Every structure is written in structure tokens, then in C-alpha cells.
Structure 1
């Protein structure tokens, strides 16, 4: 009867190893997705996010990248610990899972507290960011030494199909529009079909006239990134609970096998 007991133990360990390995693959993929979103945001979108003159929004990309790297690294450690049946590495892996899980809870609580404290002033904060973007577009567009701002504004308006910070009429106070002799009313990047000097006509059939302007489109984009972070965070938190359970069971099985 003893060999059958050993066989049952071995089968249990093998099943737990496969379950934990599958979990680690899912965990690793989730971390990779978070990392990819963070890098994509930083590489593709940071040029016009910088127009807001605020570190709050750009910080979200760095948070995504850091979270993705930690999750990916933890998943690799989990795979190694599972395949090699290293009890010491399983303990390290379990501690990492627990730390990440606790950090997620703390971050969620702090975010909720900050939101509640910010609530009466959120409108003023959004207005300040709107004014920052408006001033940047009006004062720095097509000005000497501000080539990066010019490129970012053109990219922002074309990609989000908008014109001006709050409205296309914002461009009437632009230093570039007032000083130049090109007779443009808006930049050519405001046009639905961009071409040289197309900004001379600001009719809705020619340029983008979006209610709320580019700042509204930019805020929606940033909020979508935060929603992605929150959704993936909830998914990872659930996976962590499952992973911790599998890790504890595998560690216990391996410990019993040594006796």
C-alpha cells in the first residue's frame, strides 16, 4: 500500500506544478500587457501629454511600466520555482505575490482617499490644466526653439481630430496667428484634410470643431489608460490569490514528500 501512497503524492505534486505553471503563464502575460500599455503610452503619447505641464498624467505611464516589470519578473521566478521544485524559491515567490497584493490594496485605498479629498477641487484642477494647454498652444506654437511643442500640437490635433485647447477660436489669440502674414486662422493640422494653407478657412466643413476641444479628447484618453490599469490590476489581484493558494499547496506537498 505504501507505493500507491507515494504515487498519489507524486500525482498531486505534478498536478499542482501544472496548475501553478499555467497560473504563472497567465500572470506573466498580464504583466506583459501592463508593460506594453505603459511603453506604448510613453513612446507614442508622451509628446502631447507633456503639453499639459503636469507630471500627474505622465506618471501613470511610469506606474504601468514599473508594475509590468515587477509582475513579469515575479512570473519568471514563479516558473523557475515551480519547474525546479525549489522550496526556498517558492517561499520567495509567495512573499513577492503577497507584497504585490498588499501594494495593490494600499494603492487602491490611497487613490480612493485622494479622490475623496480632491473632489471639491477637481473642477479647479481640470480648469488649471485646460488653461495650461491653452497658453502653451497660443504662446509656443511655431515659436523659435519650440519645435517639439509645434510637433506635439500638430500630432494632437490630427490624431484626436480636434482644434484648439477648448475650441478652434482659441487660435485667434495665438502669437503665431497674430504675427504671421500667412492669413491662416488656424494651423493646417486643424484641417480634416491637411494641406498647405488649408488653415485659411475655419469653416466646420474644413476644420475640426469639437465641443470641448483637444483637452477633452486628451482627458478621455488619459482616463482610458487609468481604466485599463484598474481593470488589469483587479485581474492580477484575483490571479494572485489563486497563485498564493497553489503555491502554498505545492510547498506543503513538497515538504511532505521529503519525509
Structure 2
């Protein structure tokens, strides 16, 4: 009876080892995906971050990058802890899993909260940012973001092209008689912003709704990735606890 029990425990331990190894393999791949989403948000879509008054959007992306790196390192540690059957390594592994779990839950919650607040923030700040900071010295990132926004989304101004009448730059001699920036033009040529006819500029299309939809889509991706990976980690923590209990205490 005793031999049967030991054999049964050994088979259970072996099954747990392989389950945890498989989990760690996919967990390592997931870490790469999480890091890629965070990096992609910061690298490819960071132009519009300067148009936001809150740093929540970029904070969620940074959290994902950090979580992704830690996940990949943790996945390797998990494989070592599993095959060496070291309870102390499994303890460290479990703590790291828990920390990553919390990081990704935080990223998901931040993305959700900011998703709800985004519309109000843009209504309150986007027009002011565009009209007060465009072409201002030291605000090159805002200028670049505004030009890219208007060209990429085929829009002009926050609500519409009339917003540019309040622009400090448009009112200055540097504008050379432009009524809107050249990036409002359907076909950009030098000084094309002097003519605000519908055939020349995106006259009726404001940028605020298009930017809001764009950022909300990315917040959905960030939130979904963070929450999804966090849910998967629950299984990893369960497997780790079961394997930890099945191993004999290490001699001191």
C-alpha cells in the first residue's frame, strides 16, 4: 500500500512538472507578446501622447513593457525550478507570478479607468493644446503630433477648422497669412493653409472624435492583453502550489 501511494505521488508530481513546463513555455511566449504590445504603443503610437494632458495612457504601456520583461525572465526561472524540483526556487517563482499578476491587473484597470475619462479630457484640453502650443518653441513634439494627426485622420482643428482662428501661431506674422496649418490641406503644398475652401482643406472634419476613437481602441487592446494574461497566470500559480506541496522539504 505504501509503495502504491509513493508511486501515485511520483506520477502526480511528474504530471505537475510537465503541466508547469508547458505553462511556462506559453507563458514565456505571452511575455514576449505583452512586451511587444507595450513597446508598439510607445514606439509607433507615441506621437499622440504629447496631445494628452494625462500620463495614464503611456503609464499603462510602460507597465506592460516591464511586465513583459519580467514574464520572460520568470518563465525561464519557472522551467529551472520545475525540473530541479527546488522548493525555494518555486517560492521565488510564485512570488514573481503574483507580482506580474498584480502589474497586469493594474494596467488593465488603468486602461479601463482612462477609457472612461478620455472623452472629457480631450474636450477640455485638446483645442487648447493645439492652438496654444502649435509651432511654439520647445513644443516640437506637439507640433509634429498635430501635423500627423490632421494628415493621418484627414481632419482640421479639434472640433473643426475654425478652432485655428484662436491659434497663437496663426495670429502671428510667422503664419504668413495662413488661416490653418498646411497639414489641414488635402494636398500639402507650401502656404496651402492660406485658402480654407472645402476643396482645399478638411473643413468640416474635426480631430477630437477621431483621436478619441483611436486611443480608445488601443486602450481596449492594452486592457484586454493585461487582463487575459493575468487570468492565465492563475493556472500557473495553482500548478506551482500543487507541485510545491508534492515535493519533499529540502534538508537544511
* TM-score normalised by L of structure 2: 0.78
Q: Which residue is 2:42 aligned to?
A: 42
Moved more, 102-111 or 157-166: 102-111
Equivalent-residue separation in structure 2 for 1:226 and 1:139 (angstroms): 27
Equivalent-residue separation in structure 1 for 2:185 and 2:111 (angstroms): 39
Q: Is the 8 A contact 1:142 1:176 kept in 2?
A: yes
Structure 2 unaligned regions, length at least 5: none
Q: Any residues of structure 2 matched to 1:143-158 within 5 Å, and which? A: 143-158=136-151
Give the counterpart of 1:206 among 196, 200, 206. Answer: 200
2:248 partner SS? helix
Give the counterpart of 2:187 among 184, 187, 193. Answer: 193
Q: Any residues of structure 2 matched to 1:60-99 within 5 Å, and which? A: 60-99=60-99
Equivalent-residue separation in structure 2 for 1:85 and 1:153 (angstroms): 56
Displaced runs of 4+ in structure 1, greater than 4 A?
1-12, 102-112, 125-128
User: Which deviations, in whole Å up to 9, do the C-alpha atoms of 1:134-156 show, x marking residues without a partner?
Assistant: 12221222234433332222122
Q: Is the 8 A contact 1:50 1:58 kept in 2?
A: no
Aligned residues: 249
**Cα shift at 1:89:** 0.8
Give the counterpart of 1:176 among 166, 169, 173. Answer: 169
> RMSD of aligned C-alpha atoms?
3.6
**Cα shift at 1:35:** 1.8
1:255 partner SS? coil
**Cα shift at 1:221:** 2.6
**Cα shift at 1:27:** 1.8
Equivalent-residue separation in structure 2 for 1:167 and 1:14 (angstroms): 65
* TM-score normalised by L of structure 1: 0.76
**Cα shift at 1:6:** 7.1
**Cα shift at 1:102:** 5.3
Q: Is the 8 A contact 1:23 1:239 kept in 2?
A: no
**Cα shift at 1:81:** 1.4
Structure 1 unaligned regions, length at least 5: none
**Are 2:223 and 1:233 equivalent residues in the alignment?**
no
Equivalent-residue separation in structure 2 for 1:170 and 1:186 (angstroms): 9
Equivalent-residue separation in structure 1 for 2:247 and 2:94 (angstroms): 15
